[in-house]
Amino acid sequence: MSFELPVFSPPDFDLPGLKNAPDAVLSTVTRDGVAPDGYHATSIYPEYFRIDGQWKLATQSRMDATPVWENGEVRIREFRLLRTGDRVICGRTEDGSEGIYVHQNGFRRESSVPETFAFRSRRSRETAFSRDYDQLYDLLRYERSHGHILWVLGPAFTFDHDARDAFSALVEGGYCHGLLAGNALATHDLEAAWLGTALGQDIYTQRNHPNGHYNHLDTINRVRRHGGIEAFIRQEDVKDGIMRSVVRCGIPYVLCGSIRDDGPLPEVIPDVYEAQDRMREHARQATTVICMATMLHTIAIGNMTPSYNVLADGTVRPVYFYCVDISEFAVNKLSDRGSLSSRGIVTNVQDFIVNLARGLGLV
């Protein structure tokens, strides 16, 4: 079995409700960062806006932003980035009656018969995940050369020896096109690479090193002395780890600051809204997103990742979004917020990544 890209069916604009739809209303921003009354807010789905009698599909969309008509294009913009004079599309219906059409079922699906007696419809520890793994193997093999795989890592992901190795194998095997994380993930990973511990505890034997609580701070201090992660890796001759793999393979990464940071490492972005902008650059390209063990980053990237992407040649394709976490609460959080297209896997991310790397034949 191998992965096949679902074909996108655009709406039938000849249907009466759409054919006779009015143009969408535009309203002008009068104050930076404040939308006009009645602004439209976007969903994760493909949305079409009728302007000058033409239906325009928004590209590089995201949830909870607003469409701006600019230079003959619909651009999806965060509210804080609105500028005086921007022409915002208004309207809060989704059926075309205000010139706005949200197209929820554009991708052909396997016979998804509505089921009236659906036990266990949400993901829990008791969901059968075998098929998700098989699909993921196929998907990643496809995306490796045809897509853009974005990984989002929680701080503790790198606490375990095998998990680090498995992730590095994925990176070096070509299965990673971008990495989002925070100061802690990078710090723990570099501590592990440099001193063999994470927060002072050996990442293989679990033994606590004497005075090991200094390892964390010493690592940060050393990276800061070298002026950055890359210099640290080179000059300290770091031989393994997540950060070393992404640096070695030239994978772009974003490290976002948070109020719980020690340090931070020099590459970390202190301003969270600048960090959002940098994250969204990744989200715009992503075709598959896999979030592991981080509710904060998962919600952040989930909010800015649409359910579809328009490729350079105009092809509309789905974006796959996975959330892997040991907590049902975290896994189900996204769908509670409306990101209905995400798929949750409830497990320890260490086992997930080792299983994934083994299934792909990498370890």
Give the CA dihedral 312, 318, 167, 179, nearest 10 degrees: 50
CA distance 90 to 179: 35
| H or E element at residue 322 | strand 320-325
Tokens coding 215: 């390892």
Q: Which CB atom, from 303 or from 342, has the smaller least distance to its own copies?
A: 303
Q: Which CB atom, from 118 or from 312, has the smaller least distance to its own copies?
A: 118
Is residue 153 within 8 A of residue 159, CB to CB? The reply is: no
Q: Which CB atom, from 316 or from 360, has the smaller least distance to its own copies?
A: 360
Query: Could you tell me the smallest distance in angstroms from the CB atom of residue 325 to its own copies?
Result: 9
Q: Which CB atom, from 172 or from 277, has the smaller least distance to its own copies?
A: 277
CA distance 236 to 193: 10
Helices 349-359, 130-146: crossing angle, 10 deg rounding:
60
Is residue 284 within 8 A of residue 341, CB to CB? The reply is: no
Query: Could you tell me the smallest distance in angstroms from the CB atom of residue 321 to its own copies?
Result: 15
Q: Which CB atom, from 74 or from 324, has the smaller least distance to its own copies?
A: 324
Q: Which CB atom, from 177 or from 278, has the smaller least distance to its own copies?
A: 278
Query: Could you tell me the smallest distance in angstroms from the CB atom of residue 232 to its own copies?
Result: 12
Query: Could you tell me the smallest distance in angstroms from the CB atom of residue 209 to its own copies?
Result: 9
Query: Could you tell me the smallest distance in angstroms from the CB atom of residue 324 to its own copies?
Result: 10
Is residue 336 within 8 A of residue 305, CB to CB? The reply is: no
What does DSSP say about strands 54-57 and 178-182: parallel, antiparallel, or unpaired?
unpaired
Is residue 137 within 8 A of residue 334, CB to CB? The reply is: no
Q: Which CB atom, from 184 or from 316, has the smaller least distance to its own copies?
A: 184
Three-class DSSP category at 25: strand
Quick one: DSSP state of residue 21? P
Give the CA dihedral 159, 165, 170, 174, nearest 10 degrees: 120
Query: Could you tell me the smallest distance in angstroms from the CB atom of residue 39 to its own copies?
Result: 7
Q: Which is it for the CA torsion 150, 242, 252, 152, positive or negative? A: positive
Reading phi first (left if > 0) and then psi (alpha if -120 to 50, else beta), residue 108 is in beta
Query: Could you tell me the smallest distance in angstroms from the CB atom of residue 340 to its own copies?
Result: 10
Query: Could you tell me the smallest distance in angstroms from the CB atom of residue 318 to its own copies?
Result: 19
Q: Which CB atom, from 96 or from 147, has the smaller least distance to its own copies?
A: 96
